[in-house]
Amino acid sequence: MSTKAFAVFLQELRDGRTHSELSSHLNELLKHVKDTGKGGSVTLQIAVGPAGKGQDVDKVIIKDKIIAKLPTPERGSDFYWLTDDNELSRNHPRQSMLDLRDASTQPPSNLKEAAK
């Protein structure tokens, strides 16, 4: 008894939509693996049940389900200080701020006098 090849069945299932969706999910998975360096998966689940009641089953209903688990990139973290009022701050709440200026635009005043 010769049985139909699974690949042929898969291409026929839901008029080829299942095969098309699997191809699309696989392509997306490959892109995410390349971008993240992490693995993922595409799973095809096929459920087969009788189309009617009784012992003589000559018709079946086939349902498919595709599950794609794509890898996600690492998410960064951020650092904040907590103030006394439980607010978030980028600056340490107990340290004063230094007034800084851009030193690349003007030489310090003591170097101007030394150059004369």
Assigned domain for 115 exists: no
Assigned domain for 107 exists: no
**Does pLDDT of 101 surpass 90?**
no
Model confidence, pTM = 0.64
Q: Spell out where the chain has E strands.
A: 41-50, 60-69, 81-82, 88-89
pLDDT at position 100 is 80
Domain that holds residue 58: 6-69
Assigned domain for 92 exists: no
Cα separation, 75 vs 12, whole angstroms? 41
Assigned domain for 49 exists: yes
**Does pLDDT of 1 surpass 80?**
no
Per-residue pLDDT reduced to its tens digit, 48-66: 999 988 888 889 999 999 9
**Does pLDDT of 112 surpass 70?**
no
Residue 22 to residues 16, 42, 67, 85, 104: CA-CA distances in angstroms?
10, 8, 9, 53, 58
